Amino acid sequence: MNLSPHYKSRLGAEVRVTGHSHQGQTKRQEDAIDVAFHSDSDTPGESLYAFFGVFDGHGGPEAAVFVKKHLIRHITDNYNFWSDTDSRILRAIKEGFLSVQESLWMERQAESRAASSSSTRRLSCPGTTATIAFLKNSKLYIGHVGNSGIVVGVQEPGSHFWRAKKVTEEHTPDKLPERERMRRSGLAVKSTHGIPRVVSYQGKTSKDLEVEEEKDDEAPVSFSNSPFLPLARSLGDLWSYCREKQDFLVSPVPDTFVVELDDSFKCLLLATDGLWSVVSEQDAVDTVFHAERSNQLYHKRKWVNPSKKLVKQAMAEWQGRRLRADNTSVITVVFDKVMRSPTNEQGEDGVQRVSSKEEFMDQYWKALIIALILVGIFYVVISVFDA
């Protein structure tokens, strides 16, 4: 995929987009990617938003294909998406994720009416990561579940190179908040070959996690008590629905972020874990940087697709480590120009703005230091009164 023209208008940016996927050494391709530019029918050629998404399926490609096809509509059909308020746009993204999860459930119910028990087991197992970004009014609106990821490349003042900044966090069972949430829900986590995985059900909760047939004369389908899923959040994975809690224990609830762009932003990368498992964020941004420099110098002789180059880099890393290469998919967005949005909001309650992982950690440590200082002052005051 190569979208070489510049798109701007209401996007607030001039961008060039490429994408590439490779099956790796797996039996089937379960990844999917999507790029869309939505134009205003009243003003042809003017894009209202751009959409980028990567989806890494497991248990089959069905969930990734379904989510790729339907997620964007579930979000953009929500009236909140067309607001100028960040929190309402993020609400539309969250509600879109939950709505497409419900559609997956309804699709499964419809298909199960005519399916055998073994077919229903197949329909209930597939799931997918979903990592998406909307470009609109010089901002990125991000929704994310799973272990795919988004990274941006930023050029800092006085530097000729681009620095990688990680935007999303992986939803894996080893992360403490996810592990605690699943433990409270009754899901177990076990490690196989050093990788923490969710166990399909645990002890007394097995009845809650069974997938029942619509036909009364057939027994419900249950799944073996074995670790298999290295994700704490995903879309699909309908087996994890708990009737008692009326919720999916492998959560479809996304993280949502706003990234406010400026002219320091040079590239955006969305990729499945086939890339991020073997290529660091900085190495990936460096690859895009050098591809862009090469294109500027030699574009008339040989143009380099940065997404394809990243996928080839990942394949080489998998081979060099003597590991079976995973499905690998990459979307690269290069920012040629970013215009400052006139509607940028400051300090809106309930909106998480992220420009980098480092800045988030800086805020965390500053808050921790302030808390420790306050605790110290408290103990000093107490000791004075005791004396």
Q: Taking residues 176-194, what's their average pLDDT?
A: 72
Total domain count, the chain:
1
Residue with the larger pLDDT of the pair 124 and 371: 371
Encoded amino acid at 46, one letter: E
Per-residue CA distances from 38 to 7, 44, 83, 138, 271 (Å)? 11, 10, 16, 15, 22
CB proximity list for 333: less than 8 A, separation 6 or greater: 15, 16, 17, 52, 135, 267, 268, 269
Q: Residue 87 has which token pair?
A: 């929190």
Asked whether residue 375 is domain-assigned, the answer is no
- Cα torsion through 260, 84, 73, 258, rounded to 10: 20
Q: By mean pLDDT, which of 257-261, 297-301, 313-317, 356-360 is the weakest?
A: 356-360
Check which CATH number belongs to the domain holding 338 and give it. Answer: 3.60.40.10
pLDDT mean over 119-124: 50
113 burial via Cβ count (<10 Å: 0-12, 13-18, 19+): exposed
Q: How far apart are CA 94 and CA 86, in angstroms?
A: 12
What secondary structure letter does DSSP report for 353?
B
Q: At what angle do helices 117-124 and 86-112 cross, to 10 degrees?
A: 170
**What per-residue confidence (pLDDT) applies to 188?**
67
Summarised one tens digit per residue, pLDDT across range 228-281 is 677 889 999 888 887 777 888 888 999 999 999 999 999 999 999 999 999 999
User: What band does 130 get if pLDDT is binned at 50, 70 and 90?
Assistant: very high
Residue predicted with more confidence, 270 or 345: 270
- Retrieve residue 112's tokens: 């199960």
pLDDT range class, residue 213, cuts 50, 70, 90: very low
In the chain, the percentage of residues whose pLDDT exceeds 90 is 48
The lowest-confidence range among 124-128, 134-138, 365-369 is 365-369
pLDDT of residue 355: 44
Q: Say whether pLDDT at 178 is over 70.
A: yes
Residue that wins the pLDDT comparison between 151 and 220 = 151
Question: Which tokens is 295 given?
Answer: 């294109």
Residue 339: inside a domain: yes
Q: Which helix (H) or strand (E) holds 372?
A: helix 357-386
Tell me if 216 is assigned to some domain: no
Can you tell me the distance from the alpha carbon of 102 to that of 99, in angstroms, rounded to the nearest whole number?
Answer: 5
Higher pLDDT, 191 or 181: 181
Q: Is residue 230 part of a domain?
A: no
Instruction: Assess contact for 154 and 82: CB atoms under 8 A.
Output: no
Is residue 289 predicted with pLDDT exceeding 90?
yes
Candidates 304, 300, 178, 155; CA nearest to 231 is 178
> Greater confidence, 241 or 63?
63
pLDDT(214) > 60: no
Taking residues 217-237, what's their average pLDDT?
A: 62
* Predicted pLDDT at 265: 95
Assess if residue 326 is contained within a domain: yes
Which of 116-120, 158-162, 349-353 tops mean pLDDT? 158-162
Domain containing residue 151: 2-168+254-355
The model's pTM is 0.79
Only one residue has tokens 């070959």, namely 193
Q: How far is CA 28 from CA 16, 32, 232, 237, in A?
A: 29, 12, 23, 19
Residue 385: pLDDT band with limits 50, 70, 90: low
Cβ neighbours around 91 below 10 Å, total: 17
Res 72 pLDDT > 60: yes
Q: b/e map of 179-191 (b: 16 or more CB within 10 Å)?
A: bebbeebbbbbee
Q: Give the mean model confidence (pLDDT) for residues 2-28.
A: 80
Q: Is residue 360 part of a domain?
A: no
pLDDT-derived band of residue 209, with 50, 70 and 90 as boundaries? very low
How far apart, in Å, are the Cα atoms of 298 and each of 254, 284, 329?
Answer: 41, 21, 26
- Whether residue 278 is contained in a domain is answered as yes
Across 33-37, 80-84, 238-242, 331-335, least confident range: 238-242
Q: What is the CA radius of gyration of the chain?
A: 23
Residue 125 resides in a domain: yes
